[in-house]
């Protein structure tokens, strides 16, 4: 049975950082929401291809969200704008992104051309605290601390409960306040235990934030090469053991559905959460 207010999304990619992006040892396609609104989050390199491979028509996208101006998070953004606007023939859809992506800043950007910015029906340049309503979903931009100073995370306020997405950020005091009360928290964790990297989270940082945010489920993603080599599933198990919060490592093409319960599926088949633990 499908719960009317449930949300469903698919990881078109779980990789991040330069070397994973170059090698595509993990895909870098971001996350595609398919309900309650068709939305593409952080369309990195290959997002358009992985979307088609997953039989998700990119032209059905109604909103594109980009968290910051680094290629592993924005690279296919303009292609998705073209898909969303029927090949740039219709003024439709919404683009939500921070200043670096839309206007550029002293470090980077813009990464969406003036031509492509002209075609969505609405373009929202957001900073932490700003909210955008997309159908039944309210998206709030939240603080992140990364090499792109305009980077934001996102909090999705949904009928079935809130979802948090940290984007690339280092852990900082007060970070948990942005995600308190979420049912599901998606953390971009580039590196494994005892391998910190400025502007990013490692496994130890995920332990810190989940010690404060008691989510129903945490999902780690956006893995760099050191994390891939360390086995993300083992890192997730360590996080859960330290925090008591159910934690899994995302896999390419893994789907999550959140209604009365949170369900995970791979290869079209639902997988018990206990399988990951």
Residue 79 lies in a domain: yes
Q: What DSSP designation does 72 have?
A: H
Strands 7-11 and 255-258: antiparallel
pLDDT at residue 167 in the model = 98
State both tokens at 88.
Answer: 């740039």
Residue 2 lies in a domain: no
pLDDT at residue 267 in the model = 82
What's the maximum distance between 2 C-alpha atoms anywhere in the chain?
52
Half-sphere exposure of 267 (CA within 13 A, CB side): 1
Residue 147 lies in a domain: yes
pLDDT for residue 210 is more than 80: yes
137 three-class SS: strand
b/e for 116-143, b at 16 or more Cβ within 10 A?
Answer: bbebbeebbbbeeeeebebeebebbbbb
pLDDT at residue 226 in the model = 98
User: Tens digit of pLDDT for each residue in 4-44?
Assistant: 579 999 999 999 999 999 999 999 999 999 999 999 999 99
CA 75 to each of CA 45, 161, 202, 209, 227: distance values in angstroms, whole numbers, following the listed order = 5, 30, 24, 29, 22
Q: For residue 44, give the CATH number of its domain.
A: 3.60.15.10
Residue 205 lies in a domain: yes
Does residue 191 or residue 269 have the better pLDDT?
A: 191
Angle at 126 between CA 173 and CA 178, to 5 degrees: 30
Q: What is the mean pLDDT of residues 228-237?
A: 98
Q: What proportion of the chain, given as a percentage, has pLDDT over 90?
A: 92
Residue 1 lies in a domain: no
User: Tens digit of pLDDT for each residue in 78-107?
Assistant: 999 999 999 999 999 999 999 999 999 999
Average pLDDT, the chain: 95
User: Band of the pLDDT at 2, cuts 50, 70, 90?
Assistant: very low
Q: How many domains does the chain have?
A: 1
Q: What is the mean pLDDT of residues 63-83?
A: 98
pLDDT for residue 262 is more than 90: yes
User: Band of the pLDDT at 1, cuts 50, 70, 90?
Assistant: very low
Half-sphere exposure of 84 (CA within 13 A, CB side): 28
Residues 109-118: contacts with CB within 8 Å, 24+ apart?
109/69, 109/148, 110/69, 111/66, 111/69, 111/74, 111/77, 112/66, 112/74, 112/77, 112/78, 112/81, 113/78, 116/77, 116/78, 116/81, 116/82, 116/88
User: Band of the pLDDT at 245, cuts 50, 70, 90?
Assistant: very high
Domain that holds residue 114: 7-276
Q: What is the mean pLDDT of residues 103-116?
A: 97
Q: What is the mean pLDDT of residues 52-74?
A: 97
Residue 171 lies in a domain: yes
Q: What proportion of the chain, given as a percentage, has pLDDT over 70?
A: 98
pLDDT at residue 3 in the model = 46
Cβ neighbours, 10 Å, residue 212 = 13
Residue 232 lies in a domain: yes
User: Tens digit of pLDDT for each residue in 118-177?
Assistant: 999 999 999 999 999 999 999 999 999 999 999 999 999 999 999 999 999 999 999 999
Residue 246 lies in a domain: yes
Cβ neighbours, 10 Å, residue 54 = 17
């Amino acid at each position: 049975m499908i719960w009317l207010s449930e949300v469903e999304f698919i990881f078109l990619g779980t990789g991040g950082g330069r070397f994973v992006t170059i090698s595509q040892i993990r895909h870098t396609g971001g996350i595609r929401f398919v309900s309650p609104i068709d939305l593409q989050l952080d369309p990195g390199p290959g997002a358009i291809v992985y979307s088609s491979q997953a039989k998700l028509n990119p032209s059905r996208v109604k909103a594109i969200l980009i968290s910051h101006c680094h290629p592993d998070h924005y690279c296919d953004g303009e292609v998705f704008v073209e898909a969303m606007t029927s090949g740039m023939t219709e003024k439709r859809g919404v683009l939500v992104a921070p200043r670096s992506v839309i206007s550029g800043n002293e470090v980077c950007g813009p990464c969406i051309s003036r031509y492509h910015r002209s075609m969505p029906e609405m373009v929202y340049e957001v900073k932490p605290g700003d909210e955008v309503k997309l159908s039944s979903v309210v998206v709030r931009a939240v603080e992140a601390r990364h090499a792109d100073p305009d980077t934001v995370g996102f909090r999705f306020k949904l009928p079935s409960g809130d979802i948090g997405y940290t984007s690339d950020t280092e852990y900082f005091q007060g970070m948990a306040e942005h995600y308190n009360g979420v049912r599901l928290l998606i953390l971009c964790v580039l590196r494994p235990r005892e391998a910190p990297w400025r502007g990013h989270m490692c496994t130890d940082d995920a332990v810190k934030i989940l010690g404060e945010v008691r989510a129903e489920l945490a999902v780690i993603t956006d893995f760099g090469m050191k994390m891939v080599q360390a086995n993300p599933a083992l890192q997730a198990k360590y996080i859960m053991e330290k925090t008591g919060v159910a934690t899994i490592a995302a896999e390419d093409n893994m789907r999550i559905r959140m209604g009365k319960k949170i369900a995970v599926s791979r290869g079209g088949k639902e997988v018990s959460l206990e399988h990951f633990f």
